[in-house]
Amino acid sequence: MRLCGVRVEGNVRINTRVSLYWHNLSLGENTWVGPECTFSSTPEAGIKIGANCDIAPQVTFVTGTHELGSERRRAGKGKSLPIVVGDGCWIGARAVILGGATIGKGCVIGAGSVVVSGEYPANTLIAGVPARVKKPLAVDQPREPLAQVETA
């Protein structure tokens, strides 16, 4: 991956049959990429995956799209928007993440969801077609140190 120009941090694990279209991709430390995932970026719009993310099998990331054209050809002028996935996210199997999506840290994306362009808040469950925030998720609280127990 590094030889292809992909930015890969330490301890990234990538399964088989992962497809790259362009190489404007960054994978954060300790991220796991499932089999048959697709990363379709453009030189103008990259895909940035944070640290400690888990990407299930067959997830697709696509930065490119088109403006709406006339009735002669609905796919008008091409354009692309970046994708950002925050640290600690879990993306379920066969989810599709479209250009312009910015997913906050600690989110869960439901399997089969289609995440469209927009900002998604941290620590939320996001699911559906199109994907919507379903509920907030618990946030880790700092733990108090255990009290020392004196023994006699």
Structure-token pair, residue 30:
């300790």
Which residue do the tokens 């609905």 mark? Answer: 74
Active site residue 66: yes
Selected catalytic residue, list 66, 78, 117, 119: 66
Phi and psi at residue 20, in whole multiples of 5°? -120, 130
* SS3 call for 86: coil
Positions marked active-site: 66
